[in-house]
Amino acid sequence: MVVGMILGEPTHFLIFPVVAMNKFGIGYQYFSGMYTALFPMIPAILALIVIIHDHKQRLAHSKGWHTYEEFLGFDGGRSAHQ
């Protein structure tokens, strides 16, 4: 669903105005719903970020690392203090 919203909503900028150009013989211009189609993309992008972050955390945890930073190799300078 998230991918569909991220990929599907921008088609309002491409498909609908082109269809109107062919059907009515007008140039590329504003078509109703072009700009409001972007609003559903905001929560979809945020949801995708959360999903990717959670996936990386679970992957790190399954490999025995307790934090995502350990998975990436960052220890926050803790190794220099030990």
Distance CA 64, CA 71 (A): 9
- Polymer length in residues for the chain: 82
Q: Which residue in the block uniquely carries the two structure tokens 């949801």?
A: 47
pLDDT of residue 16: 82
pLDDT in tens, 48-75: 999 998 888 888 777 776 666 666 666 5
Give the pLDDT confidence score for residue 2 in this predicted structure. 76
Please say if the pLDDT value at position 79 is more than 60.
Answer: no
Calpha distance 19→23 (Å, rounded)? 6
* pLDDT at 82 > cutoff 70: no
Residue-wise pLDDT tens digits, 19-32: 888 998 888 887 77
